[in-house]
Amino acid sequence: MSLPLFMWQLIRHPKTISAIAPSSQGLARQMASQITGSTGKVVEIGAGTGVITRQILAAGIAPEDLSIVEMNPKFCASLKAQFPDCNVLEMDAQALGELPLENVGMVISGLPLLSIPEPVQHNIIKGAFDLMVEGGKYVQFTYGPKPPIAPEVREANDLQWLTLKKVWLNLPPAMPYVFTKNT
């Protein structure tokens, strides 16, 4: 249903979308698999057509505890229509740290992070960890063999990571990573 919207926006904004298809349901499920009863609020960034959003809600996050950050106005309009009880924010994820949200335990990202210039990556990652409570998790997938955050940005933000199960049924296959602050 949302594939035509995705494809049309991909043609118009290839740099900010930077993917040949929306995430598969299997990848979306993996991205939401770290959610537990004690996660607190969740912020999703780069939600696109809402594939991962649906799995975050299915994992038990109440709609009012989910904020959705997306900079593309067409995707935002679709997200607002699909998820009227979530907090949909049309904004650049670089301003995450300024959001007036409390008790955020996880940021789940569908951003094409490695195609984003390093200083912008840094702003997004710093903002995400400034926003989250201590022990907060930043979940991000990548299609490539390396971690999806540049080494300099990982170092500047003092991050460690683990990988989840690789999702082969995705175009292309993708690996979800979970980043946390070094303890």
**Rule CB under 6 A: which residues touch ligand SAM?**
16-19, 22-23, 45-48, 51-52, 69-72, 75, 92-94, 110-112
Q: The dihedral of CA 160, 164, 168, 170: what is its sign?
A: negative
Phi and psi angles of residue 115, each rounded to the nearest 5 degrees, phi first: -90, 5
Which residues are within 8 A (CB) of 37 and not within 5 positions of it... i.e. 6 or more apart? 60
Nearer Cβ to ligand SAM, position 48 or 148?
Answer: 48
Helix (H, G, I), strand (E, B) or coil at 95: helix
Q: Tell the smallest beta-carbon distance from residue 146 to ligand SAM (Å).
A: 18
Task: Classify 135 in phi/psi space as left (phi over 0), alpha (psi -120 to 50) or beta.
Answer: left
Dig out the tokens for 165 from the structure: 């199960």
Nearer Cβ to ligand SAM, position 37 or 163?
Answer: 163
Nearer Cβ to ligand SAM, position 39 or 55?
Answer: 55
Nearer Cβ to ligand SAM, position 12 or 146?
Answer: 12
- Cα separation, 171 vs 23, in Å, equals 7
Nearer Cβ to ligand SAM, position 160 or 166?
Answer: 166
Q: Tell the smallest beta-carbon distance from residue 182 to ligand SAM (Å).
A: 25
Q: Tell the smallest beta-carbon distance from residue 93 to ligand SAM (Å).
A: 4
Question: What's 96's DSSP letter?
Answer: G
Q: Tell the smallest beta-carbon distance from residue 18 to ligand SAM (Å).
A: 6
Q: Tell the smallest beta-carbon distance from residue 138 to ligand SAM (Å).
A: 14
